[in-house]
Amino acid sequence: MRAEFTRIRTLPATWIALAVTLAANTLLGLLAATDTVRVATSDGQVAVSQLGTVMLAPVYAFLAVPVFAAGRELRISLLATPDRNRFLLAKLLASAGTTIVAAPVLLLPGLLVRHAAGSLPAEMTAYLLLGLVGGGFAVLTRTAVIPLAVLLALPVLVSPMLAGLLPGLVRLLPHEATLSFLGTSTGPALSRTAGFWVLLAWAVVFVGAAWVATVRRDS
Amino acid sequence: MIEISRLSKRYGAKTAVDDVSFSVRPGRVTGFLGPNGAGKSTTLRVLLGLDHPTSGTALIDGRRYRDLRHPLRTVGALLDGAGPVPERRAIDHLTWIAQSNRIPRRRVREVLDLVGLGDAAGQRVKKYSLGMGQRLGIAAALLGDPEILVLDEPVNGLDPDGIRWVRTFLREFAAGGRTVLLSSHLMTEMAETADEAVVIANGRIVARGSIEELTAGHASLETAFFALTEG
């Protein structure tokens, strides 16, 4: 696991993703706290703080960390750790550990300026579970591009298109479940508890699928 | 010692390796020769635990590679497609590999100096030439001071000095009682480096023996190779 931490820490993309996430979270926190920017929606002018999708957007910059950590250097990692169970366990623990260490630093400044520090545990949980979804997805597809593209396309393209037609389905997507869990959904929402369980289920499904694929398939 | 026994590997309807058996003894450099698509890389991937065999075994000192807890201390490998992220510094690349197998950190500097990359240790790999990247791969293979080396095309991209360095190093490595399995399609180089060779074509072993035995009746190893693989 120490090797995985070193691998993540020495990747320049890690630090770029963390810097972008911190900057975006802090900027959004400032905009939300001062209410200097309002966004035109079909319901009229809405404060940034009320747009859950916008406030959650920085997590997609952060997702590059677990996704890049999981999807790259697969063959050399397997040569170093040929036991597939140990290999995946080390990757997941390192990815989760990185989130637990980094998330408070990334989230607190933005939360503090809008006097919402009490949301830190829920936001950290959301980062952790979405990170596991992204990491599992990257191991499954062995690329960084596909997981990032799909996870970003869900809230940007899929949810808006299907929200009116299939609201019951849309609220089960990872992004929408996260918004429900955080209590910031503006669309068809689940309860906060149900949102947590749905997001957890997504993490379990992606990590489980990655685990089965890693053990069974060739490199 | 490496022992491949009745190894087969199929991908769907395609048979990549078909009932292959051979052993690689300590104290010798053994070449693994074959045209592209003959099954060399597949055999090496199964040996190194990257692919599952359809049947048969590939053992290192009597054990599967996957059963070695710290495999890099037993086997050093250089394989195509097993390189670092280009944005990472060479020294960081070797550091995480060393940590993964509890190899002392001082070995990172030692192997970088050994392959002539000591002065470029802090550079990002994307700034390396092809030859420097190949030297870094060899450095990674040597990290655990292994008894066995498995190298797939190690002289690719190396300049004449680098090629001579690899040849001399492998000869000395084997002379110390260690085991070398060397895959290459550079016949002249193989003839000068290997003591013996295994030739594979269409997934099957077509010849094996000392370089002298294989080249007997032919002008060179290259003509012997073509006679064996095209005949």
For residue B51, the model assigns a pLDDT of 93
Query: Which chain A residues contact residue B83 at CB under 8 A?
Result: 76
Say which CATH topology domain B2-61+148-230 has.
Rossmann fold (3.40.50)
Most A CBs within 10 Å, among B89, B100, B101, B148, to test the A interface: B100
Query: What domain count does chain A have?
Result: 1
Strand bridging mode B148-152 / A38-41: unpaired
Are A10 and B81 a contacting pair at CB < 8 A? no
Per-residue pLDDT of chain B (231 residues; tens, 9 = 90+): 999 999 999 998 999 999 999 999 999 999 999 888 889 999 999 999 999 999 999 999 999 999 998 999 999 999 877 788 889 999 999 999 999 999 999 999 999 999 999 999 999 999 998 888 889 999 999 999 999 999 998 888 788 888 888 899 899 999 999 999 999 888 888 888 999 999 999 999 998 999 898 888 888 888 888 887 876
Compute the distance between CA of residue B7 and CA of residue B39 in angstroms, rounded to an integer. 11
Running DSSP on this structure, what letter comes out for residue A119?
G
Facing residue for B101 by CB, picked from A7, A73, A80: A80
What element of type H or E holds A86? Answer: helix A84-113
**Any idea where the domains of chain B sit in the sequence?**
2-61+148-230, 85-146
pLDDT tens digits for A174-205? 988 998 998 887 777 889 999 999 999 999 99
Contact A219 B100 (CB under 8 A): no
Q: Is the pLDDT of residue A71 over 70?
A: no
- Tell me which residue of A136, A105, A97 sits closest to A123, measured CA to CA: A105
Quote the radius of gyration of chain A (alpha carbons, Å).
Answer: 18
Q: A181: distance to nearest CA of chain B, Å? A: 36
Q: Which residues pair with B31 in a beta bridge?
A: B182, B197
Q: Which residue of B has its CA nearest to A13?
A: B87
CB contact under 8 A, B71 and A76: no
What number of C-beta contacts closer than 8 Å exist between A and B?
70
What's residue A184's pLDDT?
82
Which residues in chain A touch residue B52, judged by CB atoms under 8 angstroms apart?
218
Nearest residue to B3 via CA among B47, B66, B34: B47
Of A114-118, A186-190, A212-216, least confident by mean pLDDT is A186-190
Say whether B50 and A79 touch across the interface (CB within 8 A): yes
pLDDT tens string A128-159: 999 999 989 988 888 888 888 888 888 888 88
Task: Tell me the residue range of the domain where A208 lies.
Answer: 2-216
Contact residues, chain B, for A138 at CB < 8 Å: none
Chain A residues whose beta carbon lies within 8 Å of the beta carbon of residue B68: 82
| Number of helical (H) and strand (E) elements in chain B, helices listed first | 8, 9
Measured between beta carbons, the chain A residues lying within 8 angstroms of B95 are 6, 10
